[in-house]
Amino acid sequence: MSSVLDTYARKTISFTKGKGSYLFTENGDKYLDFVQGIATNVLGHCHEHLVKTIQEQSKKLWHVSNAFIIPEQERLAKRLTDKTFADFVCFQNSGTEATEASIKIARKYFHKIGKPEKNRIITFQGAFHGRTLAALFAANNPKHTEGFGPKVDGFDQVPFADHETIKKTISKNTAAIMIETIMGEGGIKVVPDYCIKGLREMCDEHNILLILDEVQCAYRTGNFFAFEKSGIVPDIVPIAKGIGGGFPLGACLVTKKVSIGMVPGTHGSTFGGNPLAMSVGNAVLDIIFARGFLDDVKEKGKYFDRGLKKIKDKYPKIIGEIRGIGLIKGLKMLVDNTEFIKKLMHQKMLAVKAEENVIRLFPPLIVNNKELDEAIYKIEKVCKAMS
Ligand SMILES: *Cc1c(COP(=O)(O)O)cnc(C)c1O
């Protein structure tokens, strides 16, 4: 019997080695890994540059308190703010901490400008923002919240894609609207650009903040952030998963305007932003920022799309819809997604499920067309077996 608390329906398989797009079991079985730690290992397993970076940094310095200036942290924050809408970054260890920091920063801003009554956040059905109490009740998924009451107040939830209800829900107490640019756990539901723009307009009209949770989708669409192609500027963006390339790392990006309440003592994290994590975050950016890298992600995404579309056209009773942009993909299945994933595993390929009977595919961004072809081949094989 395992001594690990049984909070996951774990598969019995385990892995001892990883390289790029592949995972290996102890007896040498090789799996094509399109889970990648759930959208986390953006550069695949054991990327040379990350391995070298962490080895070198681990000989120099692992951890110092945020009570001191951490040069690697300064550098990562500068690179992130130079590249994006943000003026400041605060570093965390996970996605849920990054979304919690977002909520705190939004509330503190209105407190600071003398409008403390503006403290409620509008959120969306089907959202996922993490597993801490505020993040749980922000998403308010009964599967996750049951038994964890009392309910954390301060969130007003509305149906997905219902602008009229959002408008009606906005009150003098609303501080922010928080939404994932691409709803990950909810089934890789891309919020269309016109909706993101509409939300921005609503926020401007009512003096409220727009928080775009990019914990799952950042770096993956072929743009640095998924929201970029909508052309708008958000106020607060939490990121995590991919930004550490598999090392626990989260961050919350904010504009100067919104940051004004966050003065010394208002927030903190013992581990967040330590030299080891920061060196890895910087090493990930070395690759992501390399000329043409993200354009390549777009091209690979299109290539993958074409292959997936062919299978969907051939098996219209198995695959209902292809969702996602770049290398964050969802297949809405017309057969049971869990069963499909199980059969994919027999073909030595790993995928992860989401709500709405969706299968999520997260190739590492360093994937090549041959590996994408292999995925297409394996998915098609399972489609054939299930039809
Ligand atoms: C995974 C996820 C989180 C939570 O991240 P953790 O690192 O598991 O705490 C928050 N928001 C979104 C959109 C996510 O996908």
What one-character-per-residue DSSP string does 46-86 give? T-HHHHHHHHHHHHH-----TTS--HHHHHHHHHHHHHSS-
Angular region, 265: left φ>0, alpha ψ -120 to 50, beta rest: left
Indicate if 218 and 302 belong to the same structural domain: no
For a ligand 1 pocket test, name from 40, 103, 241 the mutation site with the most ligand atoms within 8 angstroms of its C-beta. Answer: 241
Instruction: Report the number of distinct structural domains present in the chain.
Output: 2
Read off the pLDDT of each residue in 142-148 and give the average, rounded to a whole number: 96
Are 332 and 274 in the same domain? no
Q: Note whether residue 352 is domain-resident.
A: yes
Give the mean model confidence (pLDDT) for residues 319-341: 98
pLDDT at 12: 86
pLDDT at 161: 85
Sign of CA dihedral 137, 142, 145, 147: positive
Final residue of a domain: which of 288, 317, 336? 288
Which CATH number does the domain housing residue 323 bear? 3.90.1150.10
Whether the per-residue pLDDT at 348 is higher than 90: the answer is yes
Which of ligand 1's atoms lies nearest the C-alpha of 127? 13
Q: What is the pLDDT of residues 291-311, one digit of tens each?
A: 999 999 999 999 999 999 999
- Determine the distance separating the centroid of ligand 1 and the alpha carbon of 129, expressed in angstroms: 5
Q: Mark whether 161 and 268 lie in a shared domain.
A: yes
pTM, entire model: 0.98
Q: Is residue 194 pLDDT above 90, yes or no?
A: yes
Q: Give me ligand 1 centre to Cα 98, in Å.
A: 9
312 shares a domain with 271: no
181: CATH: 3.40.640.10
Q: Whose CA is nearest to atom 10 of ligand 1?
A: 129
Query: How far apart are the CA of 238 and the centre of ligand 1, in A?
Result: 9
Q: What is the pLDDT of residues 219-255, one digit of tens each?
A: 999 999 999 999 999 999 999 999 999 999 999 999 9
Is the CB of 95 inside a 6 Å radius of any atom of ligand 1?
A: yes
State whether 284 and 297 are in the same domain: no
370 lies in which domain range?
292-386
162 CA distance to ligand 1 centroid (A)?
24
Question: Is residue 26's pLDDT more than 90?
Answer: yes
Do residues 161 and 102 share a domain?
A: yes
149 pLDDT band, cuts 50/70/90, is: very high
> Does ligand 1 lie within 6 Å of residue 235's CB atom?
no
Distance CA 279, CA 251 (A): 14
Ligand 1 near 96 CB (within 6 A): yes
Asked if residue 211 belongs to a domain, the reply is yes
Residue 1: pLDDT band (50, 70, 90) is: confident
Contact in structure between 189 and 126 (CB atoms under 8 Å): yes
- The closest-lying atom of ligand 1 relative to the alpha carbon of residue 97 is 9
157 shares a domain with 302: no
